[in-house]
Amino acid sequence: SQQGEEDPQALSIQEGENATMNCSYKTSINNLQWYRQNSGRGLVHLILIRSNEREKHSGRLRVTLDTSKKSSSLLITASRAADTASYFCATSGSARQLTFGSGTQLTVLP
């Protein structure tokens, strides 16, 4: 079963704007990861944040994790048309399996 929800389900912004996606989960985790998926393609790993971390950066990506609220956010700064894709959070717990969120479809308009 899916771990949690992502919001918004869909997000449309202009190139250059920032995009923020949120993810909520239900059980305790070891880490939380964000993936990107272009239409009809496989997943690309973006960033991993461990349960004892609160914030992590990678290039134009910024991820936060609040374990007390069981939530995470992904911020993409200065978005580009090429950032158009679906973004999924995935949690990993004691079983070391990944459980995916429902995903956010991001559209960046040129």
Instruction: Give residue 78's identity as a one-letter amino acid code.
Output: A
Q: How far apart are CA 4 and CA 84, in angstroms?
A: 22
The verdict on 26 binding another protein (CB under 8 A) reads no
* Interface residue with another protein, options 11, 43, 61, 75 (CB under 8 A): 43
Answer whether 90's CB lies under 8 Å from 35's CB. Answer: yes
The verdict on 45 binding another protein (CB under 8 A) reads yes
Q: Taking the complex as a whole, how short is the minimal distance between the CB of residue 97 and another protein, in angstroms?
A: 6
* Stretch near another protein under the rule CB under 8 A, chosen from 15-23, 32-40, 61-69, 74-82: 32-40
The verdict on 102 binding another protein (CB under 8 A) reads yes
User: Dihedral sign, CA of 88, 91, 96, 99?
Assistant: negative
Answer whether 33's CB lies under 8 Å from 100's CB. Answer: no
List of residues contacting another protein (CB under 8 A): 2, 30-31, 33, 35, 40-45, 48, 88, 92, 96-103, 105
